[in-house]
Amino acid sequence: MDFVDVKYINLISTRFQKFKKVKHNLYNFRCPICGDSQKNKNKARGYLYQVKNNTNFKCHNCGLNISFNNFLKQIDPVVYKKYTFEKFKEGHTGKSFTVEEPKFKFESPKFKLNLDLPKASSNFYAKQYLESRKLNPDNYYYTEKFKEWTNSLQQTFDNTDKDEPRIIIPLFYQNTLVGFQGRALGPSKVKYITVMLNDDAPKIYGLDQVQKTETVYITEGPFDSTFIRNAIALCGADGDIDKWGIGDAVWIYDNEPRNSEILSRISRAIENGQKVVIWPSTIVEKDINDMVLSGLNVQKVIESNTYSGLEAKLKFTTWKKV
């Protein structure tokens, strides 16, 4: 299987339910297009597999059979653009490959200090959702047409059909808007879409607000970071935080001991000498937000379950279920 395909499969794997690597060049998960079986949540009938020089997706529930290129285009148009560009750089486009050469449009990015959008508190549904998660709706924004609004800042979506409302989570760096995440309000194939207006800027939420000389807690999502003292969130895969001036860091991953991607990230962090949180077995909630809603003192739990070195390895071995 093409190494670029493998890279992007791993990149988006955490979005898929029941994702697992069955064997070399074969991956299985619940189909995100049809939602897979509605009667049995444990059934996973979506597959990614190799066909000659390409990777293909097939769902044995809805019957969809398309190339990984087109599958990724449906799942996340932003990641799809990066994928096609990388395939082009590696010479893996054109004849014998399903990926076409990308069309380049060179436009200067439009950086803004503020967002020309209403606060999320001004929309009933956005406000209701955020308040139900104990989040302050005045800290976020709202757009009725996410694709159209995104294109007004930077041409990102070639097709704005089936546009949808989203909560906007801004990413600031040095007091400048450098990107944002759009969180779907209703049912959507992609719950979160991250768009960067400046590819050289850190894909990090809250970087401007933390005290870098103190311990910085790193969560998987922006919402989770708001419940932790001096925290940031990486809006993507693990990043190089050293280059952004963060010294003492604690990595906090979701409480999913059967998720192979999360297990891989925790293991890598421990091997790199990082501090990590290993959740106690008494906690059943998957993420920080759910823990807060259940009434847990999350800050105290995190501080009491932070480990590194050999101790982290031992705790991790006991915690993981795979």
- In the structure, what pLDDT confidence band is assigned to residue 78 with cuts at 50, 70 and 90? confident
Examine the pLDDT at 95 and tell me if it is beyond 70: no
What's the mean per-residue pLDDT of the chain? 87
pLDDT bucket at 239, cuts 50 / 70 / 90: low
For residue 145, with 0-12 CB atoms within 10 Å meaning exposed, 13-18 middle and 19 or more buried, which class applies? middle
Q: Yes or no: say if 168 and 137 are a contact pair by the CB < 8 Å rule.
A: no
Count of beta carbons in the 10 Å neighbourhood of residue 59: 21
Structure confidence by residue, pLDDT tens digits, 252-303: 999 999 998 899 989 999 998 999 999 999 999 999 999 999 999 999 999 9
Domains observed in the chain: 3-89 (3.90.580.10), 120-200 (3.90.980.10), 216-319 (3.40.1360)
- C-alpha 56/C-alpha 50 separation (Å) is 6
| Measured distance CA(289)–CA(223) in Å, rounded | 7
| More confident call, 96 vs 45 | 45
305 vs 240, residue with greater confidence: 305
Using only the alpha carbons of the chain, give its radius of gyration: 20
Query: What DSSP character marks residue 246?
Result: -
**24-34: per-residue pLDDT in tens?**
889 999 998 88
Which position has the higher pLDDT, 69 or 141? Answer: 141
Helix, strand, or coil (residue 315):
helix
Q: What was the pLDDT predicted at 271?
A: 94
| 169-228 residue pLDDT tens | 999 988 889 999 999 998 888 888 888 888 788 889 999 999 989 999 999 899 999 999
